[in-house]
Amino acid sequence: MAPLKLKLTKHQAPPRRLDGTNLTWWNSPIKILDPLEKLVREVTDWKKLSNPDDISILKNYDGMLFTCDIEIGDPPTRFSIVPDTGSSNLWVMADSCLDCEVEGCRTEDEEFLKDDCVASQSKVTRCHNFYQRSASTTSQIVTDETGSHKTFSIQYGSGETAGMVTRDKVKFGSWEIKDQTFGEAQQGATFRQLPFDGIMGLAFKSISVDKMDPVFDNIALGNTEQGMSLSKLPIHPETDREYRSQKQYSCFAFYLSKDECRAHSQLHIGNFDRGCYAKDEELHFVPLSSRTYWAFNVSSIIVAEDNMEAVEFGDRRGKGEWKNASDITELQKLHPNMLPPKSFPDNILEDVINNNNKDFATRYSDPMLLCDDCKAIADSGTSLIAGPSDDIGALNLILGTNEYGMVACDEIRPNVHVVLKNEKGEDRIFTLTPDDYILRFQGETVVECMSGFQTLDAGFWILGDVFMRKFYTVFDQGNERVGFATANESC
C-alpha cells in the first residue's frame, strides 16, 4: 500500500474582529489542552471526491483551519475532523450531545463552490454529523475500574468537551483501525458554530487525555486491518539508497499552499514528498526535546532587516554604542528587547523617544533578539505564530499593530529569522518575510492586513500555520524529530 496523500481545499470566509464588526479569529478558543492559546479558525465543510479511499480532502479556511474526513463504525458514518499535531485525542460529536447543533443549520448539500479552487462559506452554520453508538455493529463500551462506562473531559480556552469513551472501527484514508478508542462528545457548545465534527490529535500518547491511543500510533504500530507496522524513516532520506518514495514510514507531513488555485495543500501520511520543497535543500531535522507535543529547542528567534548571514551567532547582541544611560532607559521603555542600536542619524533618537516612532528598528538598529535557546512546538492546529507576551508585544509594536492586531498594508517591516539546530548541531536559518507573516484579507471595500504573531504565555513558542506555510514540515515519529525545508510554490 502506497503512502496516503490527503488533499486540502481552501475555503474563503470573512474573519471577525474582536469588536464584532468584521475581522479577527484569535482570542476565541478552539485549541486543545490547557495551557495552549485561544484561537478560532473560520471553517466550512468538506467536498467529496470520487475515490475517498485514495484521496481525502482537507480544507483550509482562510489559512486558519484544515479538516479531513474519517469514517467511524459499521455501517460507517463520515466525520469532518481537524488533524491537529498540538493534541493527541480523537473525539467526535455524539448523537446524545444536547448543545452541539445550531437551529437552522445548513446541510452539506447546500454548500456550493465559486470555482475549482475556492469554496464559499455560507453565513449559516453547517449541520454536524453525529456518532450513534447503537447504530454501529462494531461499537464497544470502554469501562472504568467500577465497570461503568468510562468518561472523558478535555479543557479548552473557553469551555470543555466531555462525554463517554468508546471503541469502534475507524477508517482513515486507506487505513482501517479495528479497535480505535475515542471520545463521544456529549458537550459541544464550544464548537457547535464551527462546522467540523471533531478533532484528531497527532501528538504523542503521553499527553492524551485518559491515555487513549492516538490514531497515528495505531497506524504506525500496525493495529490496522492491513496488520503491517511502519518502518522508521532513514536518517538521511534524500541520500540514503534504501529510501523508497512509495514505501510507508512512521512519519507524516504537511504542505500548506500559499495559493490554492495553483496547488492544493496536502497532508501526507506514511512518507513525505520530495517535490514539495526546494531542490537545493535537504530536510533539516530537529530532534524532539520530549515525546509530548512535537516540541524542540530553538537556537534563537531574531528580528532583523539585514541578511542574517551577517549575524554572528556567538555574539547576537551586537556591538553598537548606546548614547547615554538616559537614552538606554527611554529606548527600553519603548522596545524592551531591542539590541544595542547603530549610530542614529541626527534627530532620529529624539524622534524615536518623543514620537514613539515604531519603525525605527527596521532602519537604524541591530537585530532584536526575541528568543535565545527557547522551546517551541510545531502545531498544525494553530493558525499563527505564538510566543511570550513581552516578546510578541515588542515585535507587534514595531510592526505597528492596533488593539485588534491590524496593521497598515504598505509599511516597510523587518524579516523574522528562526534559527534551528539539527541532529548534527548545525544551525539553519528559516526566514519569514513580511509577505509570509502579514496576513491579508479582502474587507468590504479594501484589502485589510493583520499580524501573524499572537501572544501566549505558555513557556514555549508555537510555530503554527504561518510558519508551516513557508516551510514544508515532516513529523518523523519513528526517529523523534521534525524536519523543515522551504516549501515550493507547487507540490
**Distant-in-sequence, close-in-space partners of 178: CB < 8 Å, separation ≥ 6:** 138, 169, 223, 224, 225
Contact between residue 456 and residue 472 where contact means Cβ atoms under 8 Å apart: no
pLDDT (0 to 100) of residue 428: 95
Q: To 5 degrees, how large is the angle CA 371–CA 374–CA 378?
A: 105
Contact between residue 82 and residue 45 where contact means Cβ atoms under 8 Å apart: no
Which of residues 213, 242, 275 is at a domain's end?
275
Burial call 249-261: b when 16+ CB within 10 Å, e when fewer: bbbbbbbbbbebe
**Could you tell me the pTM of the whole model?**
0.81
Name the more confident of 54 and 8.
8
Note whether 247 and 290 are same-domain residues.
no
User: Is the pLDDT at 341 greater than 60, yes or no?
Assistant: no
Note whether 362 and 218 are same-domain residues.
no
pLDDT (0 to 100) of residue 104: 72
Work out the mean pLDDT of the chain and round it to a whole number.
76
Query: Cα separation of 184 and 166, whole Å?
Result: 7
Query: Cα separation of 263 and 20, whole Å?
Result: 33
User: Is the pLDDT at 282 greater than 80, yes or no?
Assistant: yes
Query: Cα–chain-centroid distance for residue 298?
Result: 17
Q: Is residue 155 a part of any domain in this protein?
A: yes
Q: Give tens-digit pLDDT for 289-307.
A: 988 899 999 999 988 765 4
Q: Strand, coil or helix: what is 207?
A: helix
* Domain region containing 392: 276-486
Q: How many domains are there within the chain?
A: 2
Note whether 463 and 361 are same-domain residues.
yes
User: Is the pLDDT at 436 greater than 70, yes or no?
Assistant: yes
Contact between residue 218 and residue 201 where contact means Cβ atoms under 8 Å apart: no
Q: Give tens-digit pLDDT for 458-472.
A: 788 999 989 999 999
Which of residues 217, 250, 275 is at a domain's end?
275
Note whether 259 and 296 are same-domain residues.
no
Q: Give tens-digit pLDDT for 128-176.
A: 899 999 999 999 999 999 999 999 998 765 467 899 999 999 998 888 9
Contact between residue 379 and residue 464 where contact means Cβ atoms under 8 Å apart: yes
Q: To 5 degrees, how large is the angle CA 424–CA 426–CA 429?
A: 145
pLDDT (0 to 100) of residue 202: 94
Q: Is residue 491 a part of any domain in this protein?
A: no
Note whether 204 and 319 are same-domain residues.
no
pLDDT (0 to 100) of residue 80: 87
Active site residues per annotation? 84, 379
Note whether 305 and 204 are same-domain residues.
no
Note whether 333 and 474 are same-domain residues.
yes
Q: Is residue 192 a part of any domain in this protein?
A: yes
Query: Cα separation of 375 and 424, whole Å?
Result: 18
Note whether 315 and 268 are same-domain residues.
no
Number of neighbouring beta carbons within 10 Å of residue 437: 22
User: Is the pLDDT at 110 greater than 80, yes or no?
Assistant: no
Name the more confident of 58 and 178.
178
pLDDT (0 to 100) of residue 219: 94
Give the type of residue at 70. I
Number of residues that this document lists for the chain: 491
